Chains A and B, each alone.
Chain A
């Protein structure tokens, strides 16, 4: 069969792989990208984007319910789950076409098929032949981690895939796992009236977030009627005719949770099998390919980026690694390995939660003396005008250097605003520059300014 050669082969067309391919093309490399399912990867087709489309429907529906308080009248409220889902699929489809166009514009050769390493610098794609390149990037992503006994069954037990295209609106929904994905689905289904119960093994929900933010989130979700069990371990599942019952243990107590559907969202595991890693020296640890700070594996010429290369499992981390990896391959100098402290993380439920950098506890554990600033949206004019005055902005500074160590937002547009702190952190701003910055009035972002002022005893509106 034919053998094609390029400067770079990228396996996987998710936000890691397709961005790497575009950047490589910009730098003048000839690139072949191999994708077995759909361009855009999980993010665009079964992750970030379709969830956000669903959550937008939930948000509008919630606002419709609040119309009266804004002096508006609506007819009786209603929704059509099928059309909500259809819109979400449509959004994903449009963006997928966009990625295809971008790759074409950049003259990236796209091969559809399942790729497998077949020797140093060699890749085989069934039915498509052999491909060779001095550099190969693995961007094969990840899939839902299975909970033994709770594997998706096409009926009661859902992974994120089924949850994104639900056959029914479950009357009773149990979500196992309270990371970003679990919380977003809990928020979505609760908005349309499902009785949602979240079961989390650790002692708080959204365990990677600052403790104070986790606690505020819990209160907000419970106020909406979502039931939350933390420190809870699921131990069994009983199947009935038309529902299941989950047995869980929390603090010595046994819980029985009847459910029409169950979403298992306990994390993910890298797609490291069946890609021919055994023909290489690359190492796999805890389900992920081990790489150095420039995304290189132990096999010369072989790189790994994105979800398959380990946490945090975020699309923007995958893309950033793609760019860094390719720039190193192209011999660009002055590159900077990713500092995990500068990777923001977002959860798009209601309320929204976003953060960048260290939590208060992590900063303390690293030996910093801290200055903490807090500013509630209840004291922000724009938030009150919007009718979205719940939530808080919290900043964590090193008391001696004034370094912004971390920032945490729960409340309206948290996910849109966090980039302000990400920019500040990357530029190594101190409190002085943040204080000196003029924030437009009236905006929610003024709460970010005030949270900096508050850390230094200078808040104006509280």
Chain B
């Protein structure tokens, strides 16, 4: 009889996962030797995962009985007081959408090579598993190195070109969106990027980021692929000029050499501030990104 592999998790992580109804086997551990620790469970709690695939003939779930005593107020709505963070988000995004001349560029990227490479690396690297997002981050960093014009900001009297490649990653927290920054991302390998993003995201969700860890940055990535979103257009994170909106990688019909085939495709949309970056430049950046992700061995150099 074969035993399931032993799962390493801290006592606290086990308890928190049980309380939240999270199956530890679905988590990747960030602790020593891949041990699942509290931060991993908290991260899983904060990120609603896509619904598991429903088997074709699954019975309809029984209606959930309304908990007794919970009734809507007579007025029909509840006003949730604004937190300082919510206020800042509201102000900055309104300003961005109202004042920045946005334009949008979308490309489809074939992800089969990245997925295959990831699987290979992960069997070798286990338990420090890489996510698709880590590859995207690395590709964006190298893309920005190739097209430095996209790593820029509108500075009212000048166009500011950044010398470092510092990439902000949008993270959803219960309080709202926050963008911790991976600094000098182009100088870091996949493993280092992966560990750093994990740690930053976990601390972002705990509200434990220091201001210098989320202020600044020259480019933002927002990924809603894990929610099954196919494509979307993000609002620019000022004063940066570009934000990349990443959708889900899923199998789609494609035409290859004149014949219909199936490939895992991912659509990304770049929102661009036209004051700082022109259409052709944005397109060059996307072409570089697509090139790297479709031939990911180039990223390993």
Chain A contacts to B: CB under 8 angstroms: 283, 290, 292-294, 296, 298, 300, 328, 331, 333-337, 400-403, 427-430, 432-433
Residues of B close to A333: CB separation below 8 A: 128, 189, 191-192, 194-195
What CA separation (Å) do A328 and B182 show in the bound complex?
14
What CA separation (Å) do A346 and B11 show in the bound complex?
27
Are A334 and B30 closer than 8 Å at their CB atoms? yes
Are B13 and A428 closer than 8 Å at their CB atoms? yes
Are A428 and B213 closer than 8 Å at their CB atoms? no
Measured CB to CB, the closest approach of chain A to B301, in angstroms, equals 15
Residues of A close to B203: CB separation below 8 A: 293, 337
9 A-B pairs closest in CB distance = A428-B10, A333-B191, A428-B12, A430-B11, A333-B195, A334-B128, A403-B12, A433-B11, A430-B12
Q: Is B212 an interface residue (CB 8 A)?
A: yes
Are B195 and A335 closer than 8 Å at their CB atoms? yes
16 A–B contacts from the bound complex (CB under 8 Å):
A292-B183, A293-B199, A293-B203, A293-B213, A333-B189, A333-B192, A334-B32, A334-B191, A336-B31, A401-B12, A401-B16, A402-B15, A428-B11, A428-B13, A429-B11, A430-B11
Residues of A close to B213: CB separation below 8 A: 292-293
Q: Is B300 an interface residue (CB 8 A)?
A: no
Measured CB to CB, the closest approach of chain A to B40, in angstroms, equals 11
> Most B CB atoms within 10 A — which of A334, A402, A433?
A334
CB interface residues, B 86-110, toward A, < 8 Å: none
CB interface residues, B 235-271, toward A, < 8 Å: none
Are A292 and B15 closer than 8 Å at their CB atoms? no
Residues of A close to B128: CB separation below 8 A: 333-334
Residues of A close to B38: CB separation below 8 A: 403, 428
Measured CB to CB, the closest approach of chain A to B107, in angstroms, equals 30
Residues of A close to B19: CB separation below 8 A: 400-401
Q: Looking at the complex, which one of A283, A293, A328, A432 makes contact with B11 (CB distance below 8 Å)?
A: A432
What CA separation (Å) do A337 and B194 show in the bound complex?
14
Residues of B close to A283: CB separation below 8 A: 212
Residues of A close to B164: CB separation below 8 A: 300
Residues of B close to A403: CB separation below 8 A: 12, 38
Are B192 and A328 closer than 8 Å at their CB atoms? yes
CB interface residues, B 178-218, toward A, < 8 Å: 183-184, 187, 189, 191-192, 194-196, 199-200, 203, 210, 212-213
What CA separation (Å) do A401 and B17 show in the bound complex?
10
What CA separation (Å) do A296 and B196 show in the bound complex?
13
What CA separation (Å) do A424 and B189 show in the bound complex?
33
What CA separation (Å) do A292 and B203 show in the bound complex?
13
What CA separation (Å) do A195 and B264 show in the bound complex?
79
Residues of B close to A428: CB separation below 8 A: 10-13, 37-38
* Binary CB contact string for chain B from 272 to 301 against chain A (1 if under 8 A, 0 otherwise): 000000000000000000000000000000
CB interface residues, B 1-50, toward A, < 8 Å: 10-13, 15-16, 19, 30-32, 37-38
Are B199 and A331 closer than 8 Å at their CB atoms? no
Residues of A close to B210: CB separation below 8 A: 292-293
**Size bracket, chain B contacts:** 20 to 34
Report if A292-B212 is in contact (Cβ < 8 Å); known contacts: A334-B30, A334-B32.
yes
Q: Main SS of chain A's interface residues? A: loop
Chain B residue at smallest Cβ distance from A333: B191
Measured CB to CB, the closest approach of chain B to A27, in angstroms, equals 14
Are A300 and B184 closer than 8 Å at their CB atoms? yes
Residues of B close to A335: CB separation below 8 A: 195
Measured CB to CB, the closest approach of chain A to B28, in angstroms, equals 11
Measured CB to CB, the closest approach of chain B to A365, in angstroms, equals 13
Chain B residue at smallest Cβ distance from A299: B164
> Most A CB atoms within 10 A — which of B11, B128, B192, B200?
B11
Measured CB to CB, the closest approach of chain B to A317, in angstroms, equals 16
Report if A334-B183 is in contact (Cβ < 8 Å); known contacts: A402-B12, A428-B12, A432-B11.
no
What CA separation (Å) do A292 and B192 show in the bound complex?
15
What CA separation (Å) do A432 and B32 show in the bound complex?
22
Chain A residue at smallest Cβ distance from B216: A298
Chain A residue at smallest Cβ distance from B38: A428
Chain A residue at smallest Cβ distance from B16: A401
Measured CB to CB, the closest approach of chain B to A294, in angstroms, equals 8
Residues of B close to A296: CB separation below 8 A: 183-184
> Most A CB atoms within 10 A — which of B189, B199, B203?
B199
What CA separation (Å) do A335 and B192 show in the bound complex?
8
Residues of A close to B13: CB separation below 8 A: 428
Are A290 and B37 closer than 8 Å at their CB atoms? no
What CA separation (Å) do A334 and B32 show in the bound complex?
7
Residues of A close to B187: CB separation below 8 A: 300
What CA separation (Å) do A183 and B35 show in the bound complex?
41
Residues of A close to B16: CB separation below 8 A: 401
Measured CB to CB, the closest approach of chain B to A217, in angstroms, equals 30
What CA separation (Å) do A337 and B208 show in the bound complex?
12
What CA separation (Å) do A71 and B296 show in the bound complex?
79
Known: A334-B32, A334-B195, A429-B12. 11 other contacts (CB 8 A): A293-B210, A294-B196, A300-B164, A300-B184, A331-B192, A333-B194, A334-B30, A334-B191, A401-B12, A428-B38, A430-B15
Chain B residue at smallest Cβ distance from A429: B11
What CA separation (Å) do A402 and B11 show in the bound complex?
10
What CA separation (Å) do A335 and B189 show in the bound complex?
14
Residues of A close to B194: CB separation below 8 A: 333
Chain A residue at smallest Cβ distance from B182: A292
